[in-house]
């Protein structure tokens, strides 16, 4: 009996403990911090209610590192910040042309697949009146749901095709 009474406060501490471990989170524009001194200097707002999850994004090649501007030397010789993956070496024109051709070939293949899928969807959609399948003869709602899904798939695929054509246009204009 004495053992079970001793476990009750311990269990309460385990359940309540993580709630007290939370620190204050401040929002500074599009950045978040839990450094209270930094938040005061930058006039950041306290985030209240709910949990905050911040996932760091990846940097685009060619963009300077976020800390490069702060860590850059202030002496008379200004150095350009190194970008991620650049290593200081440039790609020669022949290799870049080969990469561009590969990218264009991939885009063209994707466009052909999307156009083939579009024709299949249009054939199945049959101008909004596809053939009813087995259980759809008895359950009209299933038929209506499938027609709506087909229509949405057609619209999605049309947007994919338009996007692929835009990318192909950019790839060909960049090659000139």
Which residues of the chain carry a pLDDT beneath 50?
A: 1, 13, 68-83
Look at residue 82 in the predicted model and tell me its pLDDT.
Answer: 47
Measured CA to CA, the distance from residue 122 to residue 153 in angstroms comes to 10
Closest CA to 115 of 172, 168, 171, 176: 168
pTM of the model: 0.48
DSSP 3-state of 93: helix
Interatomic CA distance for residues 150 and 156, integer angstroms:
10
pLDDT at 56: 76
What confidence score (pLDDT) does residue 80 get?
Answer: 45
Pair of tokens at residue 89: 């070496």
Question: What local confidence, expressed as pLDDT, does residue 174 receive?
Answer: 76
């Amino acid at each position: 009996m004495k053992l079970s009474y001793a476990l009750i406060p311990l269990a309460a501490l385990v359940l309540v403990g993580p709630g007290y471990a939370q620190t204050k989170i401040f929002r500074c524009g599009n950045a978040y911090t839990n450094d209270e001194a930094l938040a005061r200097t930058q006039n950041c707002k306290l985030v209240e209610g709910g949990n905050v999850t911040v996932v760091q994004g990846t940097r685009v090649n060619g963009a300077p590192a976020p800390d490069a501007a702060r860590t850059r030397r202030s002496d008379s010789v200004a150095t350009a910040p190194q970008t991620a993956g650049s290593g200081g070496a440039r790609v020669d024109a022949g290799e870049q042309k080969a990469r561009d051709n590969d990218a264009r070939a991939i885009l063209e293949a994707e466009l052909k697949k999307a156009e083939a899928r579009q024709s299949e969807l249009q054939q199945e959609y049959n101008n909004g009146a596809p053939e009813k399948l087995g259980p759809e003869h008895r359950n009209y709602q299933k038929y209506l749901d499938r027609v709506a899904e087909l229509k949405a798939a057609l619209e999605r695929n049309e947007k994919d095709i338009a996007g692929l054509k835009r990318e192909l246009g950019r790839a060909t204009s960049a090659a000139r």
